[in-house]
Chain A
Amino acid sequence: MTRKLLTGNSAAAWGARLAGVDYIPAFPITPQTEIIEDLAGWIDRGEMDARMVTLESEHSMITAAGSAASSGVRAFTATSSQGLLYGMEMVYTVAGWRTPFVMVNVSRGLASPITLESDHNDIMAARDSGFLQIHCATCQEIADAILIAYRLAEHPDVRMPAIVNLDGFYLSFTREPVDLAKTSEASAFVGEYDPENLQFKGNSPLSQAMAVLGGGPYSYFRYEAHLAVQKALSVYDEIIDEFEDRFGRRYDMIDSYQMEDAEYVIVMLGSFSTKARDAVDSLRAAGWKAGLLRPRLFRPFPRQQIRQLLLGRRAVAVIDQNISMGMGGVLHSEFATALYGANDAPLLASYIGGLGGRDISQQEFFAIADELRQADERGEAPSPRLLYTEHELTEMRKLQAIAQAEHAEINQN
């Protein structure tokens, strides 16, 4: 293995290369484009044996990826934010085709207002589609997760497409040391793609996932897809055991840190969780029994594992880097569902933070721990909170003052 500095985007491109992908339908979008650029460069120089086709939209790109997987080749693609949304009709459709391929999503906040920086509302929009979801926190995880995702997606008991998610800027443009597997070792792990009865050929057209009327057949197909996604939980455990044997790195479906005796727990997805890891260290140094829990696997949702890890703790803060308008943090809702009804469930607090790439400071993690302790003393969870400071609101007021002055001027003219 060679350890080298790679951006998250380069790590994603390497993941696809090491997985031996055959076909890459592509469409550019910031902050994902470097993935496609890296792959295009390798193909152009003859360093990678694959075919890349640039499509006119993400809608066609995802259609092409699903169609290619239906014809028995290993397909890879990547998108972000508005691009994922533009292709959303096909995200749901190709999942219904039960075609296994891997799509990388580089998380970026959604319009409006428009931004380039990271948050998770884009990937949450694909939550109910049938795509498996693996969320990464480091550049190393990105390269490895793509290999794991192909194994999981192509497993005959699962056979669903998968998204590997990484955060824009914080991972996409950030170089970190990455151990790259040797091509032969990666190939031996990922293996050949066996499409079984997926045998779509241009010269012998077949229908796949055609119209069904009356709810009976429709319900059957939809629920079978749900069961297949759930089946991915046990399959995942087998795959990561083998991954660890071969490469020495372990990727439990839930990354738990300092959880043995933790009383106060922070729950997060994605790369911001490594900041929480530092905060847990600092809190431990100050005498707190703090811990961190980060789901890698978000679909399927590891409900039982979460219950095992969290029942009996004092209080849990779920920090969502997304917001469901009129409800709140999506991850918080899912954790509440997972813990509902247990006598020894911890208090569950909801924080929204990191929207549009907004940073989360160490001081904020410490203050969250403090709020958890106070909640525990009161025996009642605190109200949901947006991580937002007085200073940020003051800066916002300045922008609003300019906008109002402009508005007044326009109305006068």
Chain B
Amino acid sequence: MFRIRFHGRGGQGMKTASRILGTAFFNAGYEVQDAPRYGAERRGAPIFAYVRADRETINERGIIDRPDLVCVADDTLVGMPAAGVVQGMDAHTVLLINSHETAETWQKRLNTEARILILTATEDVEDRAELPYIGSRCAAAAAALTNVIERETLVAALTEELGHLPADIIAQNREIALRVFDEMAQHAGLVAPGSMPSANDYDSPDWIEMPFENAAISNLAIHAGATSVMVRTGLWRTMRPVINYPKCSGCAWICSTYCPDGAINVRADGFPEIDYDHCKGCLVCVAQCPPHAIESIAEHVAREQEAEASA
């Protein structure tokens, strides 16, 4: 059975990637299962989707814990534990990352046995949630790497799954997908179906007996609003609002009130200040600011500027 995971952010088309690949496998005569998995259904939040394909009926279900291929649309997710990109990878796994950096860099950084391939990142975009064609590119790369899906089968699946879009968009996706498919042809067959665990030789599940713990420990004694402080939701941000203080008129109640996450504080001097640990980058403040004193810049650009400033 082929077991393939796609990791990206809400808006990048990982569900679409899984559906294109799923449909391609199905049209190539495979039994298929494909599904997205999301927690917070929000643009920019980490999501993943997966595809299983086999010649036999598929009984396996749920999250793939031993992937043959992991495709990462957004390389900022690789180092984020909550995104689970590296979960279950071993020497059998191929890791395909859409990145400006090289396979060697990622190999050193991750110190993994998995074989790493790079899907060369295309033009830069302001908003990472809008990486163009990335869903189609990931699906095309995966199709080529398995070496069981023909070019025409991929095109038919892509056309079927994107059928609700305008014809020129579909045509662009098709062209870009085929370019990736042909680029990846040199690695065709690198991704091979994995095996089932054996009942003769398996790791014990390491069960524990659930201990009794009294209510002071085991109840949900988290009543205060402060509990979400520890969760750095600012990591979801793809666009960063930045206050241009010379233009700011100090009507801080407006931006701080409109902020749906309470991530704009008012300083003692009456001017607003953005809490970047928790700002999710929704940009409501940018739209509401009366003197247009809040600008938005791409998060990765902001981070590069910060790195340069501190160097």
Q: Report which A residues bind B (CB closer than 8 A).
A: 5, 7, 112-113, 116, 169-170, 173-177, 271-272, 274-275, 277-279, 282-283, 285-286, 288, 359, 361-364, 366-367, 369, 385-391, 393, 400, 402-403, 406-407, 409-410
Contacts and interface: CB of A to CB of B under 8 A. Distances in A.
B34 A390 contact: no
B132 interface: no
Contacts of B214: none
Nearest to B224: A410
Given A5-B19, A366-B197, A402-B230, 13 more contacts: A175-B19, A175-B22, A175-B32, A176-B33, A272-B61, A278-B59, A285-B198, A359-B62, A363-B197, A367-B205, A390-B206, A407-B222, A410-B224
B65 interface: yes
Contacts of A359: 62-63, 65
B212 interface: no
A393 B208 contact: yes
Interface string B17-46: 001001100100001111111010000000
Nearest to B41: A30
A240 B185 CA distance: 49
A363 B199 CA distance: 7
B61 A391 contact: no
A363 B205 contact: yes
B307 interface: no
A390 B36 CA distance: 28
Contacts of A7: 35
Nearest to A392: B208
A245 B229 CA distance: 61
A75 B149 CA distance: 43
A282 B201 CA distance: 11
A19 to B, nearest CB: 25
B230 to A, nearest CB: 6
Contacts of B208: 388-390, 393
Contact of B207 (A177, A272, A385, A402): A385
Given A177-B32, A274-B59, A283 B206 contact: no
Given A174-B33, A175-B32, A389 B62 contact: no
A268 to B, nearest CB: 12
Contact of A361 (B59, B65, B200, B230): B65
Interface in B164-191: none
Nearest to A386: B210
A286 B200 contact: yes
Interface string B195-225: 0111110111111111000000100111010
B205 A389 contact: yes
A5 B23 contact: yes
A286 B198 contact: yes
A410 B224 CA distance: 8
A6 B252 CA distance: 50
Contacts of B32: 5, 175-177
Contact of B226 (A170, A174, A275, A406): A406
Contact of A403 (B37, B63, B227): B227
Nearest to A362: B197
Nearest to A385: B207
Contact of A388 (B36, B37, B207, B222): B207
B306 interface: no
A112 B219 CA distance: 10
A406 B199 contact: no
Contacts of B63: 359
B206 to A, nearest CB: 5
B124 interface: no
B230 A388 contact: no
Nearest to A383: B209
A275 B202 CA distance: 16
Contacts of B269: none
21 contacts: A5-B23, A5-B32, A7-B35, A116-B39, A170-B61, A173-B36, A174-B33, A271-B61, A278-B60, A359-B63, A359-B65, A363-B203, A364-B205, A366-B202, A387-B205, A387-B207, A388-B210, A390-B206, A400-B217, A406-B226, A410-B226
Nearest to A286: B199
The 3 A-B pairs with the shortest beta carbon distances in the complex, nearest first, are A286-B199, A174-B35, A274-B59
A275 B61 CA distance: 7
A279 B199 contact: yes
B199 A282 contact: yes
Given A5-B26, A386-B210, A275 B60 contact: yes
B196 A282 contact: yes
Contacts of B209: 385
Nearest to A172: B35
Nearest to B197: A362
B62 A285 contact: no
A177 B222 contact: no
A42 B90 CA distance: 45
A174 B222 contact: no
B206 A403 contact: no
A389 B204 CA distance: 10
Contacts of B62: 170, 275, 359
A283 B37 CA distance: 30
A323 to B, nearest CB: 12
Contact of B22 (A5, A278, A391): A5
A258 to B, nearest CB: 13
A151 to B, nearest CB: 26
B198 to A, nearest CB: 6
Contact of A409 (B31, B39, B217, B226): B226
A388 B31 CA distance: 32
Contacts of A277: 59
A41 B260 CA distance: 32
B49 to A, nearest CB: 10
Nearest to B228: A406
B280 to A, nearest CB: 19
